[in-house]
Amino acid sequence: MKTVIPVENGDTLVAVRGFLKRLLEAGVVDAVLVPMETPAGAVTPALVSDSRLLDAANPLAPVMGLNAARVVGPVSIREPRGKIAAVLRPCELRALVELVKLKQASLDDMVTIGVDCLGTYDVPVYEVMRADDGVDVAAYLASAQSGELAPQDGYAFRDACQMCEKPHVSALSSGERLGGVEAVVTLELFGADLSAGIPVTLPDELAEKLGLTDPSPGPSPARRREIIEKVIAARTQVRDARFAEMDRRLEQEGIEGVFAACVRCHNCMTVCPICYCKTCLFKSPTFDHEPLQYMNWAHRKGAYRLPADTMLFHLTRLNHIVLSCVGCGMCTSACPAELPVGRVFRTIGQQVQAVFDYVPGGNVEEPLPLITFREDEWMEVGEE
Binding site for another protein (CB under 8 A): 247, 250-257, 260, 281, 297, 300-305, 309, 311-312, 315-316, 318-320, 322-323, 347-348, 351-352, 355-356, 369-371, 373-375, 377-379, 381-384
Q: Is 272 near ligand SF4 (CB under 6 A)? A: yes
Pick from 327, 340, 347, 358 the residue near ligand SF4 by CB under 6 A.
Answer: 327
69 binds, among another protein, ligand SF4, none (CB under 5 to 8 A by kind): none
How far the first Cα of the chain sits from its last, in Å, is 56
Q: Which is nearer to another protein, 209 or 249 (CB)?
A: 249
Q: Which is nearer to ligand SF4, 152 or 267 (CB)?
A: 267
Q: Which is nearer to ligand SF4, 238 or 337 (CB)?
A: 337
To the nearest whole angstrom, how small is the minimum distance from the Cβ of residue 335 to ligand SF4? Answer: 3
Among 353, 379, 347, 349, smallest CA distance to 366 is for: 353
243 binds, among another protein, ligand SF4, none (CB under 5 to 8 A by kind): none
383 binds, among ligand SF4, another protein, none (CB under 5 to 8 A by kind): another protein
Residue type at 117 in one-letter notation: C
Sketch the per residue contact string, 221 through 260, with ligand SF4: x for CB under 6 A, - otherwise. Answer: --------------------------------------x-
- CA 43, chain centre distance (Å): 16
Exposed/middle/buried for 112, CB within 10 Å: 0-12, 13-18, 19+?
buried
Task: Round to whole Å and give the CA distance between 248 and 253.
Answer: 8
Pick from 202, 325, 347, 353 the residue near ligand SF4 by CB under 6 A.
Answer: 325
26 binds, among another protein, ligand SF4, none (CB under 5 to 8 A by kind): none
Q: Is 326 near ligand SF4 (CB under 6 A)? A: yes
Among 286, 285, 308, smallest CA distance to 296 is for: 308
Query: Dmax of the chain from CA atoms?
Result: 76
Q: Is 277 near ligand SF4 (CB under 6 A)? A: no
To the nearest whole angstrom, how small is the minimum distance from the Cβ of residue 312 to another protein? Answer: 6
Q: Is 73 near ligand SF4 (CB under 6 A)? A: no
8 A C-beta contact, residue 159 and residue 239: no
Among 288, 340, 296, 276, smallest CA distance to 314 is for: 340
Pick from 337, 355, 364, 370 the residue near ligand SF4 by CB under 6 A.
Answer: 337
Q: Which residues contact 284 (CB under 8 A, 6 or more apart)?
A: none
To the nearest whole angstrom, how small is the minimum distance from the Cβ of residue 103 to another protein? Answer: 17
Q: Which is nearer to ligand SF4, 17 or 317 (CB)?
A: 317
Q: Is 268 near ligand SF4 (CB under 6 A)? A: yes
Residues of this chain that bind ligand SF4 (CB under 6 A): 259, 262-268, 271-274, 325-331, 334-337, 339, 341-342, 345
